[in-house]
Amino acid sequence: MANATAAERVASAEIYQGLACQRLTLPCGDTVLVALQGAHVLSWVSQGRERLFLSPNNLWDGQSAIRGGVPVCFPQFNQRGTLPKHGFARNMVWQVGDAVVTQDRVSIDFSLSTNAETLAIWQQAFVAQLRVVLAPAQLTITLTVNNTEADNTADSDLYFSGALHTYLAVDDIDLTELRGLGGRPEWDAVADVHGLADEALYFDGEFDRVYDASANPLHLQDGTSTLQIEQSPSWANSVVWNPGKGKCAALADMPAHGFARMLCVEAAQVFEPISIPAGGQWVGWQRLTVS
């Protein structure tokens, strides 16, 4: 079968909650849904189970940030800078390319580049690309950032922070544990204390911690299945977050008990910005595997 025909068979455009999306579907039944707003992965179903948490309380107005799935935080993490919280990429419409089928997997690229809106708040020439690769029992998301400044001077370097802010679905946060960060430097943002991570992390109340990333995979166990989480070494940090009952109730775009069904495990760059020289490129990925 010709590649174009195969791509047409596994990729389709659809509208979800009023937003233009692309859906990829494999013969095994695994599927991923990506909104053009933010190149935002909204859903990943593998082995018959939804693996991502998506809040039912989103506004879906095409402008507000979407709570859940995999937001692309770029070019700023949280409020660590002068840009809007978590940057502007998650609120803008990305361009979509053609799906590509290779053996048992399918990929699709989304891109965002310098435009009048970005230049109004960030004086930087860039092209960002998000590649979503769906394989049986596996989802890989890769962010590529290109500095398209023409002049290679000290002032032309591109500096950014950010994250793949992945919201993972869990059956019950009280029965959930995350392993693989044991001994890694840890900053507890809730208590504002530094230490070393326990081998197993458990979640009772608000949890917001930044870790030096581990070279080894993390394993999320929620009582019914295990998810392996990997990230490229180009991300310096891993962020683990759950708002807990109190903070969740105060979030307008979250149901009151949404905290019990999700855990964010993010590939991130929090403290030290990444620097890309003019004409240079940076690549960072996160891979989720059902095990």
Task: Measure the CA angle with vertex 101, ends 99 and 106; round to 5°.
Answer: 70
Q: Is 194 a catalytic residue?
A: no
Identified catalytic residue from 40, 86, 186, 266:
266
- Tokens, residue 125: 């020439």
Integer CA distances (angstroms), 248 to 61, 241, 251, 259, 260, in order: 21, 12, 5, 6, 10
Identified catalytic residue from 40, 86, 165, 186:
165
Q: Is residue 217 reached through a cis peptide bond, with omega within 30 degrees of 0 on the bond before it?
A: no
Q: Is 40 a catalytic residue?
A: no
CA dihedral 182, 257, 288, 3 (to 10 degrees): -170
Integer CA distances (angstroms), 153 to 31, 150, 241, in order: 44, 9, 38
133 within 8 A of 110, measured Cβ to Cβ: no
Task: Just list the catalytic residues.
Answer: 165, 266
